[in-house]
Structure formats: C-alpha cells, structure tokens
Amino acid sequence: MRIEKGKGTYRLIEINATNSVHADKAAGKVLHGDLELPTTAKFMKDTLSSQEVFRHREIACQCALTFNSLLRATTPSLFYPDHAGGNEDLVKMIPGLKVYGGDERIGALTEKVQHDTKFKIGELNVQCLFTPCHTAGHICYYVTSSDETDKAVFTGDTLFLGGCGRFFEGTADQMYNALIKILSNLPDPTQVFCGHEYTLQNLRFASHVEPENEALNEKIMWSEQQRNEGKPTVPSTIGEEKLYNPFMRVTEPAVQKYANANEPIETMKTIRQKKDNFKG
C-alpha cells in the first residue's frame, strides 16, 4: 500500500492517537528525537500499555508533525484511551485533520461513520465495517491499495491473532456477526492488524479447545520463536485466522464439541466465557 508524495513513496503508518510509531529502523529515528522523515516506513503500529501511551503522547505528536504531509486522518476503532487518547492534541497540531469513528465517545471526532462508509486516505481505499460487541460503536477498517492488490484490516479490539475481544457492550450473536459474517468474508490474504498482541495467551486457549489442530500447533511454535527473537507475531491473515482461531471456527464440529453446543452462536458464547476464566 502506498501514498505517493513528490518523488518519494511512503507506506501508510497507523498512528493511533498517543501511540508511538513502531516501524523499521528508519522510522525508529523519529522515536529517538531525530525527526528525519524515513523514505519507507513499515505498515504496522505498536500498541502500548495505557501508562506507556501517556508517556509517549509528546513523542507521538512530534511524529504526527513530522508526517504532516502524510497524516490526513486518524481512524480509531473504539473510544478507549489506548486507541483514541490524544486525538485532541493531534487536531490542534494539524489543522484540518479528520478523526473518523463510529462512536460519539471518541475524542475530537469529526467524521461519524457507519457500516460500509467509504473514504480515501491518499491513494488508499478505506471501508468501514461496523462490528459492535466489545464496544457498542466499534469499527474495523478494511484498507486496500488503489489497485486492490494489497489488503489489510485494522480490527481494534474485535479480532486478535488467535482470539477476540471480550463482550463488554454486546452479545455473542453480535460477535458472531462481526467475525463470521463480516471479517471471515474478507479475502483470505487480507493482513490482520489487531489492537493488541495477546498472541501466545490466545493460542494457549485455542490449543485447549482444539489440541489436535495441526495449523494451530504450528502457529504456536512459530509465535514462540518470534517472541524469543523479540519479533512481533502481528500481522496474521484472515485465511490463517480461520485455520486456528476458535472464535472464527465456531461452525467447526470440534469447537462445538468442546463447547458442548450444536450451533455457532451458543458456541461463541460458551467459549468466550471459558476464555474469560482461562488460567493456562
């Protein structure tokens, strides 16, 4: 995915409010006070704990100013401070900055969106996917390049690698609709950028649900190696999630058997309850 700027080509970075930008070594210079704009920055974000987020507010705003020619909008998935905190600072520092979201509780919101709202950021196409459950106004953002060869979805706290968000403001049927009817129907190669990296914890629970799932066991070994080397496990893809994420597999007999249920929504409800109390 690219945004053309003069002679340079820059990849999209999701600067999620106060979050610092985790990118390649060139973009890393920004975090250490060198405000040189890198030629190419990695297409990902680093979600920090709430305490770290607020410590990095000033740095993030400096990043935003550095990327002023590139940053045209922020697209928080939900209103929590670790996703939308700092919007007020950004809109003050960048005149005309648009803040998209599906929840009135998002700070400095300028563009209220709903399911299938579409807009562009540079040459990127953005489609809003309304996925309430974790929060009532949760939005996922499906982003494609101008020729639609590159695809990514930013899933906030709805879909995690190997898991999903808690049902704080919604129900099992809403999460079923979000994961099975909406996100599962995106193209399998779509990269999944979730709001937090809970990968190993999620996969340990998934292994408890489907201990003989070969794709899952391979993903666990790969994820452990990644973390041991200090590397991220995100992104995954939609196609991969359908192979090992139990919340994307509630129609599978093995997952329904674990839940002692015979239909997917009851399975979704049961495995979420079990995950909430899982100590593995």
Distance of CA 251 to the CA centre of its chain: 24
Q: Please give the residue that has the higher pLDDT: either 246 or 81.
A: 246
Tens of pLDDT along 139-161? 999 999 999 899 999 999 999 99
Given a cut of 50, is residue 40 above it in pLDDT? no
pLDDT mean across residues, the chain: 77
H, E, C per residue of 56-89: CHHHHHHHHHHCCCCCCEECCCCCCHHHHCCHHH
Q: DSSP letter string over 22-62?
A: ---HHHHHHHTT--PPPSS--S------HHHHHHTHHHHHH
Q: Edge-to-edge, what's the strand order for the sheet holding 73-74? A: 73-74, 98-101, 111-112
Q: DSSP letter string over 166-186?
A: --SSS-HHHHHIIIIIIGGGS
**230: number of Cβ within 10 Å:** 6
pLDDT class of 61 with cuts at 50, 70, 90? very low
pLDDT class of 96 with cuts at 50, 70, 90? confident
Given a cut of 80, is residue 11 above it in pLDDT? no
Whole-number pLDDT of residue 87: 80
Tens of pLDDT along 162-208? 999 999 999 999 999 999 999 999 999 999 999 889 999 999 999 99
41-50 average pLDDT score: 34
List CB contacts of 185: < 8 A, sequence separation 6 or more.
none
* The model scores a pTM over 0.85: no
Whole-number pLDDT of residue 77: 55
The dihedral sign for the CA sequence 131, 222, 232, 27: negative
Q: Please give the residue that has the higher pLDDT: either 48 or 264.
A: 264
